[in-house]
Amino acid sequence: MITYDLELGWRADEEANERMTEAFGNLVYEREKGVAGYYNLPEDSKLIVSEVQAFASSNEVIQKCDTIVVIGIGGSSLGAKAVDSMLRHRYPGARRMLFLENPDPVDILEKFATITKERSLFLVISKSGTTVETMSIFKAVIDHFHIDLDGDDKERIIAITDEGSALCHFVDHHGIKAYTIPHNVGGRFSVLSSVGIVPLTLAGYDTCTLLAGAASMVERFFDAQEEHLLIKAAFIAKNWETYRMNVLFAYATCLEDFAKWYVQLWGESLGKIDRCGNRVGPTPAGHIGSVDQHSFLQLVMQGPRDKSVTFLKVERFEKDLEIPDIRLEHIQKSDFVNGHTFNELINAECDATRRSVMKEGVPVDSITLDRIDEANIGELILYYELLTSLTGAMLHIDTYDQPGVELGKRILVKTFQKGPNG
């Protein structure tokens, strides 16, 4: 179960109420007309789970694997990486997931050194099928591990891409297993498509329950039972020029990759030029409590009043560790927590920080998970995707394109086309 508390110190006026009504209608239209396909993934992807489980149970190569190597970047890796990080402690027997994302030669070679080809399954993921970082790392994998694409080695490669993409044609040519991504699902909204469901299912996670949690949120939202989402989106859209940064403070180490996923989802979706030609979009920032209370919190408390803060908290960590009742000479100031659990400490820090931030007049909202499990993670993913779509609708932008990242890609191509002499 997840609870959502809005403590924004703001009430919707008539204009904001009109924005909420219009935005909700926009999302209903997007769902009915197939403008954005992520609304249907919690139901549609159940078939992928069944197919992957059947395929894996009959495939000797997969049965001998202990490592799932994901070759992808951005939306092709961040979602699955976030779910893996959050659930890993609950699945000690799950296959290891290793992510090859960044074309950093040191990072790539260090990870290569931990991979045994005979015990690994390689998933190359690219919606377009031409992502330069992903394809370059894929080539390095083929070369380093001497993978014979026309021999038995192709059994340890799976591609996930758009139907008809260059990568799709490549795997068809070699007879390599492939799963497709719906054309109307963008990369950053794709975690519950084959992009995330295939690797997570192969790793051994309960992806059916993950999808069920997401499906429940979709159903409740379109049944008009999640008004807090509309209110929060309206606050952000109406006040983003005042509160230019939305800070996610997540109070669990395993939520760090989720915070990175949120930053990509938010930044790539909402940083746009609106229909009137204005540059819009609140800046996302993801931080981990209580670690970043000792750094970024100072900026929130006494820096510019241009931030809103979301506190993401876990009620029960499911593992108990007590702070020993030990008195150490000269450092007794910390003894007030002796005998309490670390679960109590981190959540008390979250609550104390939230109250202190509110006293400074910073708009705050809280998301509390009763525990970290598959259903809650699925709901949380859909919560942020729906919030992003609502905010985009209220900002009058196209939430699902990303024209701002294309220029750098074109410059990169021209750089290499010029050759060594420029």
What CATH number is associated with residue 50? 3.40.50.10490
pLDDT of residue 278: 92
Last residue of a domain, one of 205, 226, 252: 205
- Distance, in Å, from the CA atom of 262 to the CA atom of 248, rounded to the nearest integer, reads 9
Q: How confident is the model at residue 226 (pLDDT cuts 50, 70, 90)?
A: very high
Residue 409 among the catalytic residues: yes
- Reported as a single tens digit per residue, the pLDDT across 40-66 is 999 999 999 999 999 999 988 999 999
Last residue of a domain, one of 183, 205, 227: 205
Structure tokens at 108: 């790539």
pLDDT of residue 383: 98
Say yes or no: 156 and 242 in one domain: no
Last residue of a domain, one of 179, 205, 231: 205
Q: How confident is the model at residue 421 (pLDDT cuts 50, 70, 90)?
A: low
Q: Are 259 and 248 in contact (CB under 8 A)?
A: yes
Q: Is residue 407 part of a domain?
A: no
By mean pLDDT, which of 85-89, 102-106, 322-326, 374-378 is the weakest? 322-326
On the question of pLDDT at 23 being above 90, the answer is yes
pTM reported for the whole predicted model? 0.94
Say yes or no: 384 and 339 in one domain: yes
Q: How confident is the model at residue 414 (pLDDT cuts 50, 70, 90)?
A: confident
Say yes or no: 133 and 196 in one domain: yes
Say yes or no: 21 and 59 in one domain: no
Structure tokens at 307: 């931030």
Say yes or no: 158 and 217 in one domain: no
On the question of pLDDT at 110 being above 70, the answer is yes
pLDDT of residue 253: 95
Mean pLDDT of the chain: 94
CA angle 328, 319, 353 (to 5 degrees): 65
By mean pLDDT, which of 140-149, 166-175, 402-411 is the weakest? 402-411
pLDDT of residue 12: 83
Say yes or no: 51 and 139 in one domain: yes
CA angle 64, 65, 66 (to 5 degrees): 125
Q: Is residue 200 part of a domain?
A: yes
- Reported as a single tens digit per residue, the pLDDT across 322-335 is 989 999 888 888 88
Say yes or no: 61 and 184 in one domain: yes
Q: Is residue 406 part of a domain?
A: no
Q: Is residue 348 part of a domain?
A: yes
Say yes or no: 325 and 394 in one domain: yes
Q: How confident is the model at residue 179 (pLDDT cuts 50, 70, 90)?
A: very high
The larger pLDDT score, comparing residue 10 to residue 85, is at: 85
Q: Is residue 417 part of a domain?
A: no
Q: Is residue 409 part of a domain?
A: no
Q: How many domains does the chain have?
A: 2
- Distance, in Å, from the CA atom of 77 to the CA atom of 64, rounded to the nearest integer, reads 23
φ/ψ (deg, to 5) at 226: -125, 60
On the question of pLDDT at 415 being above 90, the answer is no
The DSSP bridge partners found for residue 158 are: 123, 177
- Distance, in Å, from the CA atom of 96 to the CA atom of 120, rounded to the nearest integer, reads 9
pLDDT of residue 199: 97
**High-pLDDT (> 90) share of the chain, %:** 85
Tell me the three state secondary structure of residue 14: helix
> Catalytic pick from 14, 32, 33, 294?
294
Q: Is residue 410 part of a domain?
A: no
Say yes or no: 199 and 214 in one domain: no
Structural domain span for residue 264: 2-32+210-399
Residue 268 among the catalytic residues: yes
On the question of pLDDT at 14 being above 70, the answer is yes
- Distance, in Å, from the CA atom of 291 to the CA atom of 269, rounded to the nearest integer, reads 28
- The separation between CA 360 and the C-alpha centre of its own chain, rounded to angstroms, equals 30
pLDDT of residue 417: 77
Say yes or no: 222 and 177 in one domain: no
On the question of pLDDT at 422 being above 70, the answer is no
- Reported as a single tens digit per residue, the pLDDT across 280-318 is 999 999 999 989 988 899 999 999 999 999 999 999 998
CA angle 323, 355, 321 (to 5 degrees): 15
Say yes or no: 115 and 252 in one domain: no
Q: What is the mean pLDDT of residues 235-242?
A: 94
Any idea which residue has 């150490």 for tokens? 328
Residue 64 among the catalytic residues: no
Q: What is the mean pLDDT of residues 414-420?
A: 71
Q: Is residue 98 part of a domain?
A: yes
- Reported as a single tens digit per residue, the pLDDT across 126-139 is 999 889 999 999 99
> Catalytic pick from 30, 268, 379, 385?
268
- Distance, in Å, from the CA atom of 179 to the CA atom of 125, rounded to the nearest integer, reads 10
Say yes or no: 14 and 64 in one domain: no
On the question of pLDDT at 7 being above 90, the answer is no
pLDDT of residue 318: 86
Q: How confident is the model at residue 419 (pLDDT cuts 50, 70, 90)?
A: low
